[in-house]
Amino acid sequence: EAGVTQFPSHSVIEKGQTVTLRCDPISGHDNLYWYRRVMGKEIKFLLHFVKESKQDESGMPNNRFLAERTGGTYSTLKVQPAELEDSGVYFCASSQDLRSANEQFFGPGTRLTVL
C-alpha cells in the first residue's frame, strides 16, 4: 500500500511568487492534515480536512494560504504571494477515521524556500 506522497519535494521561489503544494493521502483515508515546520521550531498544525470539508483551519497563518481538497482525495496548499517567513517544511498526514488516537501517517514533506 502506498504511503502519503507529497509533491514537490523541494521548491525554491522568490518573494511574491505563488507556489502550490500537493498531497496525496493513503487511499481510503478520509482525514487529511497539513502541518508546517519553520526551521528550528516545532511542527505546527495548519488545518484538517474530513473528506472535502475543512474540519479545523485554526492553524492557517493568514489569508495568503489556501487549502483545497476537491472530491475528498488529494489536497493542495497554495501560498500566494509567498513571503520570506513562509519558508519551512510542509508536512501532510492522513488517517483513516476519527476513532480516538487513530494514527496519522505522514508524508516526507515539501521543503519550501522563499528568497
Q: Does 75 bind other proteins (CB under 8 A)?
A: no
Rounded Cα gap, residues 97 and 103, in angstroms: 9
Question: Which CB sits closer to other proteins, 75 or 95?
Answer: 95
Question: Half-sphere exposure of residue 66, counting CA atoms within 13 Å on the CB side?
Answer: 8
> Should residue 100 be labelled a site residue for other proteins when binding is judged by CB under 8 A?
yes
40: which 3 cell numbers? 528550528
Residue 12 sits in the site that holds other proteins (CB under 8 A): no
Question: In this structure, are residues 94 and 109 in contact, taking their beta carbons and an 8 Å threshold?
Answer: no
Number of residues forming the site for other proteins (CB under 8 A): 29
Q: Are 46 and 36 in contact (CB under 8 A)?
A: yes
Among 11, 35, 75, 77, binds other proteins (CB under 8 A): 35
Q: Which of residues 41-60 bind other proteins (CB under 8 A)?
A: 41-45, 48, 55-56, 59
Among 11, 19, 21, 31, binds other proteins (CB under 8 A): 31
The CA-atom distances, in angstroms, between 72 and each of 20, 78, 86 are 18, 17, 26
Please say which residue, 59 or 81, places its beta carbon nearer to other proteins: 59
